[in-house]
Structure 1
């Protein structure tokens, strides 16, 4: 059979089958005239708050620079300084609980300490985690704080409608919050099958299965991609169990109908 060309409509339908979360018509409008944080609209106040945050971020970057210079670093030497940075972010959040960026950065620091599998009991220490051994309560508390921060950041910054404009800063922070939560969910999905969750009982994730964590990770990666994170966008399909199956079916269908296809 001679090769056939696909119409744009065919391509869109096939892409939708491969990625059920995709919607090419749904875009996010960035408007630099809007406040950088929708909940701190006073520019002078925002500058003071963000400056405090930048000072903490600089401290964490300095710690990372030191770690990178040492071939075999004693990571335990950096745990307390990292925890001090988390405490400083906590103080900033206590003063300005609706400042989403600080919550996003505190979650990132917690991930650096405990790793993305902190929701799983008896999970092995991940290479990027500074804390190798931690009590179950310490990990549970860390997971609760990280997930709570990301949930709140997403709630604070999510636009009221799909087409509502956002400031570039808010858009970037929202994409990072979704992507971070997706990373935690994705890592959890890989370890939860052989262990158990140590999420607080009142949280929705407490009774999730490995598949539910995987699906939630894919949804969050897709949202992170929609708000501008290209890495999250590419991970959305590869981590979506339904999309992976659909993708295989689509490729097989196209192979039979049109000949060999490029994935």
Structure 2
């Protein structure tokens, strides 16, 4: 089999055709010497906050480990939901103490997603299997959805550089990647349910007026940003969920196979 060698420029053009929103020149610049959080400049304060957060994350990991262990009748029942609610409460206290600590907001959103599932923006949908709460009333669902969306919005706004080519710390990049990817997951789940289940969230939220296509496009955009900040899975999902990119990608694959043969890797 013959292999075709493409220049860097050709590769960038090909990627641009497959994904119209890609920009090879917009790579994130990571600088490990920068402050880990741009809003918490006191190293002692950051160390204390991150340690408290780490303790909460370890507690959550412990709950997940316990839930994964097969239990016999003799073993005591573990209140996984109650444990998660306690961790959410501890994260709330951490955020109250330092509202600009974006990482805690990101982790609270993740814990609430584990409780409620990604279908939290719609009403009447069955709970997804990964949701710990098998039954949830509409008021609590709306409250969780509002907190998740606000936390992710705030995390992103706190950490996104004001200049597109500014350097950021590895910790900032990781939190931004997770926040964008989490929001994308919620949007994507909503796009799959909105045809049969109405969106039911706070009237002030912009998402209340979105269509299925709006949710798909914004999910793709957030996945792309998650990929830009280092999440390779999110980067792949950005193209897979982008309506325009999916069409362009299919056209490119067909054209390349016609040009170079069916075995050409695209």
Q: How does 1:167-206 map to 2 (within 5 A)?
A: 167-206=169-208
Q: Which residue of 1 aligns with 2:152?
A: 150
Distance 1:11 1:78, change over 3 A: same
Q: CA deviation at 1:185?
A: 0.7
Query: What's the C-alpha RMSD, in Å, of the aligned pairs?
Result: 2.1
Matched residues, number: 262
Partner in structure 2 of residue 79 of structure 1:
81
Q: For 1:102-122, what per-residue CA distance to the aligned partner results, in whole angstroms no more than 9, with x for missing partners?
A: 000000000000001111111
Q: Which residue of 2 aligns with 1:12?
A: 12
User: Per-residue CA shift, 1:41-94, capped at 9, x if unaligned?
Assistant: 100011111111111111111111100113699999311221111011011101
Confirm whether residue 41 of structure 1 aligns to residue 29 of structure 2.
no
Once residues 209 and 5 of structure 1 are traced to their aligned partners in structure 2, the CA distance between those partners, rounded to angstroms, is 42
In the alignment, the residues of structure 2 paired with residue 13 and residue 52 of structure 1 have an alpha-carbon distance, to the nearest angstrom, of: 46
Q: What is aligned with 1:139?
A: 141
Q: What secondary structure is seen at the aligned counterpart in 1 of 2:216?
A: helix
What is the CA–CA distance in structure 1 between the aligned matches of 2:6 and 2:46, rounded to whole Å? 51
Structure-2-length-normalised TM-score: 0.92
| C-alpha distance in structure 2 between counterparts of 1:153 and 1:131, whole Å | 25
- Assess, with a 3 A threshold, how the Cα gap between structure 1 residues 251 and 78 changes in structure 2: closer, same or farther: same
Q: Are 1:100 and 1:156, in contact at CA under 8 Å, matched by a contact in 2?
A: yes
Name the CA distance, whole Å, in 1 between partners of 2:245 and 2:234: 15
Task: Give the Cα separation in 1 of the matches to 2:10 and 2:174.
Answer: 32
Worse-superposed segment, 12-21 or 37-46: 12-21
Partners in 2 of 1:204 and 1:251 — Cα distance?
36
Query: Which segment is superposed worse, 253-262 or 101-110?
Result: 253-262
Distance 2:78 2:227 in 1: 35
Measure how far apart 1:231 and its partner are.
1.1
**Does the residue aligned with 1:194 lie in a helix, a strand or coil?**
coil
Structure 1: runs of 5+ lacking an equivalent: none
CA distance change for structure 1 residues 138 and 262 in 2, over 3 Å: closer, same or farther? Answer: same
Cα distance in 2 for partners of 1:76, 1:136 equals 26
Describe the shift of the 1:213–1:76 C-alpha distance in structure 2 as closer, same or farther (beyond 3 A): farther
1: CA distance, partners of 2:130 / 2:11: 40
Matched-pair contact (CA < 8 Å) for 1:75–1:130: no
- The answer for the alignment partner of 1:262 in structure 2 is 265
1:242 and 1:124 map into 2 onto residues whose CA distance is 30
Q: Deviations over 1:159-179 (max 9, x none)?
A: 111210111111111111111
| Shift in alpha-carbon separation, 1:4–1:50, aligned structure 2, 3 A | closer
| Matching residue within 75, 88, 91 for 1:89 | 91
